[in-house]
Amino acid sequence: MSELHDECGVFGIYKNSEETDIVEETYLALYSLQHRGQIGAGIAVNNEGRMVYHKDHGMIPEALPESELARLGNGWIALGHVKYSSGEAVDHENLAPLVMRYIKGQLAICMNGALTNYQKLRNDLNKGAAIFQSNGDTEIISYLIARARIRSASIEEAVRLAVSELQGAYAIVLMSPSKLIGVRDPLGIRPLCLGRIRDSYVLASESCVFDSLGGEFIRDVAPGEMIVVDKDGMHSYTACKSTKSALCLFEFVYFSRPDTILDGVSVAKARQRAGRLLAQQHPVDADFVCGVPDCGIESAIGYSMESGIRYATGLIKNKYIGRAFNNRKKNSQYLMRIKLNALKHNVEGKRVIVIDDSVLKGDTSKHIVELLRQAGAKEVHMRIASPMFRNPCFLTSDTTPKEDLIASRMTSDEICRYIGADSLGFLSVESLPEIARECKLDFCDACFTGNYPLDVSETSREDKYSQKIK
């Protein structure tokens, strides 16, 4: 139950048969990516070069009503996007896909990730008299493509030139009047994969999309690779040279769905392994082990297998709690109880090991310990299926400031006392890469180690939009 907000989810499809209902496929795909972003969703469809789109706030049913889907047409290429929740209000213009008109017609674009040289790029563009309607990375990239397109022979070339200016983590999916294009950042920080659904090539943030739509996974897009799909089929290019890789480990810990396979590694398997390693590193005698739903479940099963302590359900999550509930003004002090309840029958009088995926601010952990104690747990041993989260991440769309990260200012013992557990154990930093050891890529573990895979010294984003008046 991470306090980190979800990532965005991207999707693109190029259909090869009149029969394919491109809007329906995109709509369904977004359901399988909904866990990556719940503040807004959008779909854009390429109707013979004319991009028709709808995007709005809310989860899919609210953002994409049937009546709006009906007017999107049934073109050959489509994009879909779900937007993460950063807690702040998000203007309509910040939703995706962004549909723009430029010298070569229309272009639609969406992304998952964060640029570390956003401010520099924006300052440069400002000096060139750019205007921005959003404050997001996507609009920056759109400008770079438009600028590059002036001096490029093709959209592929323009995209290549544009991304060569980017620093950061990104999975971009865009469509020109005639092509579907996907690019993954040179470090492969954010995931992007290629699949086929019946006749159509699709790009998606996670492989679970292909399963859900009855399609098949082809392969992960390689770091720095650009995939282009057009009427002649699928083509692969190098967008930017990739000398090392740094796949975000938190995708395994929290962001991705357990049935996703990421650069060769099952997310479920990685979580189970984290649980097994935890059992080795922080053994404790107890009556049973349980997980905090949803992301702690697999690790708890792993801990159970390794330790031989039986697995049981300790906490029940109310699956009906959504955005409407969270946005209510009248916030009772006991809202967290509605979201999570202890399963008293299992817990009462027992020594419980409870596995969560990560600890950011610490309040959720504290609440969980209280819940279990109130349900009669004799002992509560908390185990965290990732190391101490000490450093802000500048490579996701939502950055928790360092001062809010409890592990940046407390030791494990101090945190244990703060949350009121009988014992607390984090996965060791050293063993972390082990959880996804078959992975084709190296990892970014900056949130745990501070070793950022690229320069993050200029990530602060100025807000110069508040010159005082009067």
Catalytic residues: 8
Q: Pick out residues in 198-217 that bind a second copy (CB under 8 A).
A: 208, 211-214
> ∠ CA 421-278-309 to the nearest 5 degrees?
80
Q: Pick out residues in 77-136 that bind a second copy (CB under 8 A).
A: 77, 89, 91-93, 98-106, 126-133, 135
Choice between 4 and 100, CB closer to a second copy = 100
Only one of the segments 239-247, 320-328, 349-357, 441-449 lies at the binding site for a second copy (rule: CB under 8 A); that segment is 320-328
Only one of the segments 233-241, 277-285, 303-311, 435-443 lies at the binding site for a second copy (rule: CB under 8 A); that segment is 303-311
Q: Are strands 247-248 and 443-444 parallel, antiparallel or unpaired?
A: parallel
Q: Pick out residues in 322-351 that bind a second copy (CB under 8 A).
A: 322-325, 328-330, 332, 334-335, 337-338, 341-346
Q: Pick out residues in 171-200 that bind a second copy (CB under 8 A).
A: 177-178
Choice between 243 and 469, CB closer to a second copy = 469
Structure tokens at 14: 């190029």
Only one of the segments 111-119, 244-252, 315-323, 412-420 lies at the binding site for a second copy (rule: CB under 8 A); that segment is 315-323
Structure tokens at 32: 């399988």
Choice between 238 and 324, CB closer to a second copy = 324
Only one of the segments 1-9, 183-191, 317-325, 447-455 lies at the binding site for a second copy (rule: CB under 8 A); that segment is 317-325
Mapped onto helix, strand or coil, the DSSP state of residue 160 is: helix
Q: Pick out residues in 212-251 that bind a second copy (CB under 8 A).
A: 212-214, 231
> How far apart are the C-alpha atoms of 460 and 56, rounded to whole Å?
28
Choice between 92 and 409, CB closer to a second copy = 92
What burial class does residue 392 get, using C-beta atoms within 10 Å of its C-beta: 0-12 exposed, 13-18 middle, 19+ buried? buried
> How far apart are the C-alpha atoms of 397 and 84, rounded to whole Å?
8
Does position 420 interact with a second copy (CB under 8 A)? The reply is no
Q: Which residues, 6 or more positions from 118, have their beta carbon under 8 angstroms from its beta carbon?
A: 137, 140, 168, 459, 461
Only one residue has tokens 């990530």, namely 459
Q: Are strands 9-14 and 200-204 parallel, antiparallel or unpaired?
A: antiparallel
- Which residues partner with 353 through β-bridges? 289, 381
Contact characters 43-62, a second copy, x per CB under 8 A: ---x-xxxx-x-----xxxx
Q: Which of 256, 304, 307, 391 binds a second copy (CB under 8 A)?
A: 304
HSE toward the beta carbon, residue 245, CA cutoff 13 A: 18
What one-character DSSP code corresponds to residue 92?
Answer: G
Q: Which of 161, 218, 234, 321 binds a second copy (CB under 8 A)?
A: 321
> How far apart are the C-alpha atoms of 315 and 377, rounded to whole Å?
12
Total length of the chain: 470
